[in-house]
Chain A
Amino acid sequence: MKFTEEHEWLREEDGVMVVGITTHAAEQLGDVVFIELPEEGATVSKDDEVVVIESVKAASDILAPVDGEIVEVNSALADNPGAVNDDPQGEAWFFKMSVSDASQMEEFMDEAAYQAFIA
């Protein structure tokens, strides 16, 4: 699993990247009450706002970690946004995307580096 400075995690699965937010990010956001996911099939560029996540406190944007295409979204989250608090690094993934420029993955942190980043 790789981590971004935007507190997203990426996990490779069947040739695509599964993307979600970290446990740390979910704790900071507080209780998540609404999630707006991107369209499947959408072509996105790194740092595009692809997900809107609202907690009891505020709205936040989740950015595309790399260039690519959204191939699948976790539509179960729309009815159960609280899953992001319950299992942010597991069940509550946001979307799966293809990666068009693998070199963009190189800057991401491993788990140890991410833990140091948030320490």
Chain B
Amino acid sequence: MDDLATTPLYDLHVALGAKMVPFAGYSMPVQYPLGVLKEHLHTRARAGLFDVSHMGQVLLSGPSWDAVALAFERLVPMDVLGLGDGRQRYGLFTNDAGGIEDDLMFARRGEDLFVVVNAACKAADIARMRAGLPGEIAVTELADRALIALQGPGAAAVIEDLDARAAEMRFMDVADLSLCGHAVWASRSGYTGEDGFEISVAADEAETLVRSLLEQRDVAPIGLGARDSLRLEAGLCLYGQDMDAETGPVEAGLAWAIQKVRRPGGARAGGYPGAEVIAEVFERGAARRRVGLRPEGRAPMRDGVPLFEAEEGGAQLGVVTSGGYGPSVGGPVAMGYVAVDQAAPGCRLWGEVRGKRLPVAVVPLPFVPAGFKR
């Protein structure tokens, strides 16, 4: 435990009674006294406050926005150049085999690009950016900034009360706000399927800001346990679990994140790691596909549960990559990969749990409708 890093909010988590667990090299709150189930439901009904300071925050700057954007397009299959100022996009780092090295959020802040990457991958991601971008692009890890998320239908009222400019923000907008006297970078996005904000703030101001936010109506601190069940119900991938270096964007159901301009035939097609492989998958289709899975019984099907075509015998068609109890659904939910001919909603498969095959239906994602402010 001594080797674990801490976020600027560690002392506050402990003071709030959080149960701390190791996660991606950090000591993080998995739950508070409220418990995972109630924290999940609180976030869907009101507003949940998450510490995500373990994630990597990186700023890319260069001679101009076009130079920064075009350089970054060498590492990701996204339309970066077309990103308007104050807008954010979901992205993927790919490898030469067309697999996914990490997923990320990137936002245009004037002439700079602000990138948020997963904690477990941040060292590799920063190394990848330093190695893969030309020398004129400065890659700065913002280790002196904390990152928090306020998520849920009550989040907007809280933030708008503190800074009316937040009311102008729509889903995937970014803006500089002033919250309780703290200058922050806010984005209207998150990892729960709810409306909400992710807020980057100076590390030494983070605890004061979070204490102020926790005093607002309907705000409760939420741990990583509920963060996982919230994102699963929202149909959002967890890197390392629902996708990895051997999984491509198309089979992961993330082709939507590759804009037309970067696809085969687009004006800036290819030019990123694995572009040829991914172009071929666009052409021919993927052999397997990430799908939503709804066990018909009450038993959760967790990651690693194999999926078969029949109750007895028959071929294995896939595997669960994330699964558990969905508090808002009120039953077990999962996602996983299945052969494309079994990937249509309505297909019935059998998941093997403790030696018994239990029926599970392929269903559309997400499990709960998104609450984004479009």
Give the B-binding residues of A (Cβ under 8 A).
30-31, 33-34, 36, 52, 54, 56-57, 59, 78, 81-82
Contact = CB atoms under 8 A, between A and B. Distances in A.
B37 A56 contact: yes
A57 B300 contact: no
A34 B298 contact: yes
Contacts of B38: 31
A83 B342 CA distance: 37
A81 B325 CA distance: 12
Contacts of A33: 37, 298, 300, 325, 332
A87 to B, nearest CB: 16
Contacts of B43: none
Interface in B260-309: 298-300, 302
A31 B35 contact: yes
Contacts of A56: 36-37, 225, 229, 324-325, 327
A42 to B, nearest CB: 16
Q: Is the interface of B mostly helix, strand, loop or mixed?
A: mixed
A33 B300 CA distance: 8
Contacts of B35: 30-31
A119 B36 CA distance: 24
Interface string B14-50: 0000000000000000010001111000000000000
Given A52-B354, A57-B225, A30 B31 contact: yes
A92 B324 CA distance: 22
Contacts of B36: 30-31, 56-57
A82 B41 CA distance: 15
Contacts of B298: 33-34, 78, 81
A36 B325 contact: no
Contacts of B354: 52
Contacts of B37: 30-31, 33, 56, 82
B302 A34 contact: no
Given A52-B354, A57-B36, A59-B302, 14 more contacts: A30-B31, A30-B35, A30-B36, A30-B225, A31-B35, A31-B38, A33-B298, A33-B300, A36-B299, A54-B325, A56-B37, A56-B324, A56-B327, A57-B225
B124 to A, nearest CB: 28
Interface residues of B, number: 16
22 contacts: A30-B35, A30-B37, A30-B225, A31-B36, A31-B38, A33-B300, A33-B325, A33-B332, A34-B300, A36-B299, A52-B354, A54-B299, A54-B300, A54-B325, A56-B225, A56-B229, A56-B327, A59-B300, A59-B302, A78-B298, A81-B298, A82-B37
A112 B153 CA distance: 47
A50 to B, nearest CB: 13
Contacts of A31: 35-38, 325
B21 to A, nearest CB: 10
Nearest to B36: A56
Contacts of B324: 56
Contacts of A81: 298
Contacts of B225: 30, 56-57
The 7 closest A-B pairs by CB, nearest first: A31-B37, A33-B325, A56-B36, A34-B298, A54-B300, A56-B325, A34-B299
B327 to A, nearest CB: 8
Interface in B315-331: 324-325, 327
A56 B229 CA distance: 8
Nearest to A28: B19
A59 B332 CA distance: 13
A82 B330 CA distance: 12
Nearest to B30: A57
Given A54-B300, A56-B325, A78-B298, A34 B229 contact: no
Contacts of B325: 31, 33-34, 54, 56
Interface in B324-369: 324-325, 327, 332, 354
B222 to A, nearest CB: 13
A34 B354 CA distance: 14
